[in-house]
Amino acid sequence: MASASRVLLVAFLLATVSVMAAAQKAVAPAKAKPAPAAPAADAPGAATADGKPPTDPIAILKKAGGFTKFCDLLEQTRVDTQLKAQLTDSYNGLTIFAPTDDAFDSLKAGTLNGLSSQDQIQMMLYCVLPRFYSLSMLGNIKDKVNTQASGHTGPYKYAIKPSGNNVNVSTGVKGNNMLLNSVVSKDFPLSIYSVDKVPLPYELFGPQPPTPAPAPAPAPTKSKPKKKKKSGIAEAPEAEDADATADETKNAASSLTGRWVAALGVLAAAVLGGAF
């Protein structure tokens, strides 16, 4: 009987402990699982997820989309390599006016066909300003701005002026002025703005000066007779001088003969007169 009572007591105690443990688990707050981080919004100009400054224009443009032809030209001319190097070690930054694929498609057929490889490089550099400009900074410009392109007359330029809440960019070529469409990158050291026209440098696409007429050929010059060096030996007279000398000699001989004939005539008359 005592053994049975002990067994029941132990069983009761075990059951009580189990119930209390279960009650404590139910009352204790459950640990919240960490929620997955939401993807960062692709704000304009965010080039990398780790917050590094944008230094790769091609990567930014390809991520934005719609700039395939511009990227191809940047790579073919190796201007992209130059821009990366500048952005990696730059205190002034860069600004790019990036023409869209639609802008290239709207060009007249053959517009770019006559460009040399050097002209293509200058055309790509013409899309780049040698410092960082925010949209508000561009809106305060009221004069011409240098680009990275240059020629024998100096840097190629844009004429930039405010236009409402936007800015008007003009190359000087007739019909080649544009407004900024959208901001592709806005973080220092690189700002990129899309444009709906391909920027055409005035130095390459403006009216060219007429080709000067070739200079007339110089008139032929008469050669002067060379002077003969004097020497100790008398030279034979030329043909004309020889003929003239012969005529003079002949005339002198004839005159002398006439004089002798006249003298002999006078002498003969005197002799004959004395004889008679």
Q: What pLDDT sits at residue 80?
A: 96
Q: 17: helix, coil or strand? A: helix
Of 125-134, 197-206, 250-259, which range is least confident? 250-259
Q: 214: helix, coil or strand? A: coil
Q: Are 157 and 147 in contact (CB under 8 A)?
A: yes
What is the number of residues in the chain? Answer: 276
DSSP assignments along 238-272, one per residue: PHHHHHHHHHHHHHHHHHHHHHHHHHHHHHHHHHH
- pLDDT tens digits, 63-118: 999 999 999 999 999 999 999 999 998 789 999 999 999 999 999 988 888 899 99
Query: What share of the chain in percent tops pLDDT 90?
Result: 47
Please say if the pLDDT value at position 39 is more than 50.
Answer: no
Q: Are 132 and 190 in contact (CB under 8 A)?
A: yes
Based on the number of CB atoms within 10 Å of its own CB, is 203 exposed (0-12), middle (13-18) or buried (19 or more)?
A: buried
Q: 139: helix, coil or strand? A: helix
Residue 206 banded pLDDT, cuts 50, 70, 90 = confident
Based on the number of CB atoms within 10 Å of its own CB, is 167 exposed (0-12), middle (13-18) or buried (19 or more)?
A: buried
Q: Classify strands 190-195 and 94-99 as parallel, antiparallel or unpaired.
A: parallel
Please say if the pLDDT value at position 250 is more than 60.
Answer: no
- pLDDT tens digits, 12-34: 555 565 656 555 555 444 444 44
DSSP assignments along 23-80, one per residue: HHHHHSPPPPPPPPPPPPP--TT---TT-PPP--HHHHHHHH-S-HHHHHHHHHTTHH
